[in-house]
Amino acid sequence: MRISRRSFLEALGAVGVAASFSRLGEGRAFAQTAPDYKALVCVFLFGGNDGNNMVVPLDSAGYAAYAAARGAIGAGGLALAQAQLLPLTPSSGTAAYGLHPNLPDVQTLWNDGALGVVFNVGTLLAPTTKQQFLQNSVPVPISLLSHQDQQHQWQTSLSDQYSRTGWGGRIADGLGKGPLPAVISISGNQLFTVGASTSPLSLPAAGGSFGLAGFDGSAASNARLQAMTDVRMLQEQNLIVQATQSEATAALSASKLVAPVLAGTGSTVDGLFAGLTSSLALQLKQVARMIAARQTLGVGRQIFFVSQSSYDTHNDQLNRQGALFSDLSPALKAFYEATIQLGISQQVTTFTLSDFGRTLQPASGDGSDHAWGSHHLVLGGAVKGQQTYGAFPTLQLGGPDDFTSQGRWVPTIAVDQYAATLATWFGVSAADLPTVLPYIGRYPTANLGFLG
């Protein structure tokens, strides 16, 4: 903190923040009564994706500023050739921006009206300008430019403290009990998925079984399983033992439902992922399988977490990011096509998160360094596609959006606003948003308008 958090809260009149925290875990079931199915799918790009080379200005002046700051390839620069960029042509008018050339499937999704781009999103504690940052007149997130801290803050939306819950988990807190946890990770244990009163389910990324090993249905194994169940059902006064028994019971119950879905080879969506072998594609295929089985599983609201790593491109960025995008692009398209095949493209929204952006100015080693604000993708039938949202930064080193001289953008959209737009579409009411995102009241709008 660069100024007193207490004095800042008093200045904003944000007296309801503490009350919001105290309500976490009440399970107000804000979307439980909704009759339709909806899913949020978070794609976390671990390491800090360089948004400056994901979305590039196409107009003459904008591209010239980009190329001058990024530098020429072959001379230690990172500027992509203007002719190689994939135009993002809006529904009316000419394209002002272009995508990285290794994102052709993402361009197709844009052209189909299913993709939007949100500019310059980042961790914030309040609306912040470069001048306010330099004058220390507003609080800023702790440990800016740190991988671990910024990953934590993107997943929790709380940039002034270390939280035990993520905003995906806090949405799930309001959904009440169901046959399965409302939040499912295909990428191991992640803070985004943890609620105050709910626990996530972690599933394998590819194949394998999801159940107890060594129980094959034989008489002997069934006897062992019954013995274990009898032990678990014993009444215990110890709270730790009670909690362990409860978690074990929930896990066994979930495995009975999920194991057939993951083990099956006849899923209607599998063919759409044929030939895609990247970790992200395999994760998204598991998500598609789970969504395909939604009625069998008896679920009405789900939140999924998948990830792609290695975006910390301090060196050899052009080749490394290009390879990552070559995996990201077809995986996103295959997943969206799966939602179309299942008839629920309007009910599934996929979105990206990442640690932070990267410097516009190249670093030594043909890479870029840690920065702050960056651009993100939102995908789905409910997305108001072929549009960009927010303000694109001025690509000038030391310019009005750069709080250093290396091209680090002060975010103009907060993670809170990005998350609130997704949560509102998912079914969280305006009254309940502060329960999920305690600082949302500090921003002029809680809805960026990219979802119908």
pLDDT reported for residue 302: 98
pLDDT reported for residue 219: 72
pLDDT-based confidence at residue 257 (cuts at 50, 70, 90): confident
Answer with the residue of higher pLDDT: 251 or 97.
97
> Which of 6-20, 74-88, 299-313, 370-384 shows the lowest per-residue confidence on average (mean pLDDT)?
6-20
Cα atoms in the Cβ-side hemisphere of radius 13 Å centred on 443 = 27
- Integer Cα distance of 379 and 115 in angstroms: 5
Q: Closest Cα partner for 444 from 131, 139, 126?
A: 126
pLDDT reported for residue 258: 87
Span 208-225, average pLDDT = 62
The pLDDT of residue 161 is above 90: yes
Span 338-359, average pLDDT = 98
Residue 122 amino acid letter: G
- Integer Cα distance of 318 and 366 in angstroms: 8
CB 58 within 8 A of CB 98: yes
| Domain boundaries, given as residue ranges, for the chain | 5-209+254-442
The pLDDT of residue 82 is above 90: yes
Q: Are strands 97-99 and 86-87 parallel, antiparallel or unpaired?
A: antiparallel
Q: Are strands 115-122 and 387-389 parallel, antiparallel or unpaired?
A: parallel
Instruction: Record the tokens describing residue 127, joined without a space.
Output: 């609306």
**Sign of the alpha-carbon dihedral angle for 44, 50, 56, 62:** positive
- Integer Cα distance of 254 and 201 in angstroms: 8
- Integer Cα distance of 93 and 113 in angstroms: 15
The pLDDT of residue 84 is above 70: yes
Residue with tokens 């220390």: 136
pLDDT-based confidence at residue 92 (cuts at 50, 70, 90): confident
Answer with the residue of higher pLDDT: 28 or 415.
415
The pLDDT of residue 33 is above 50: no
Q: Closest Cα partner for 375 from 98, 76, 128?
A: 98
Q: What average pLDDT is seen over the chain?
A: 88
5-209+254-442: CATH class? alpha beta
pLDDT reported for residue 238: 66
Alpha carbon of residue 306 to chain centroid: 8
Q: Where are the alpha helices (DSSP H) in 13-123?
A: 17-23, 60-70, 104-111
Q: Closest Cα partner for 437 from 166, 67, 92?
A: 166
Residue 242 amino acid letter: Q
Instruction: Record the tokens describing residue 297, joined without a space.
Output: 């599983």
Sheet harboring 86-87: ordered strands across?
55-57, 97-99, 86-87
pLDDT reported for residue 237: 63
pLDDT in tens, 269-324: 999 999 999 999 999 999 999 999 999 999 999 999 999 999 999 999 999 999 99
Q: What is the DSSP string of 87-153?
A: E---SSS---EEE-TT-HHHHHHHHTT-EEEEEEEE--SS---HHHHHTT-S---TTTT-HHHHHHH
- Integer Cα distance of 190 and 111 in angstroms: 33
pLDDT reported for residue 178: 87
Cα atoms in the Cβ-side hemisphere of radius 13 Å centred on 158 = 22
pLDDT reported for residue 7: 38
What dihedral angle (degrees, nearest 10) is formed by the CA atoms of 281, 285, 291, 292? Answer: 140
The pLDDT of residue 233 is above 80: no
- Integer Cα distance of 258 and 255 in angstroms: 5
Residue 138 amino acid letter: V
Q: Closest Cα partner for 312 from 47, 105, 22?
A: 47
Residue 283 amino acid letter: Q
pLDDT-based confidence at residue 260 (cuts at 50, 70, 90): confident
pLDDT in tens, 120-151: 999 999 999 999 999 999 999 999 999 999 99
Residue 378 amino acid letter: V
Span 66-90, average pLDDT = 96
SS3 content of the chain, % helix, strand, coil (to 5): 40, 15, 50
Instruction: Record the tokens describing residue 361, joined without a space.
Output: 């100015």
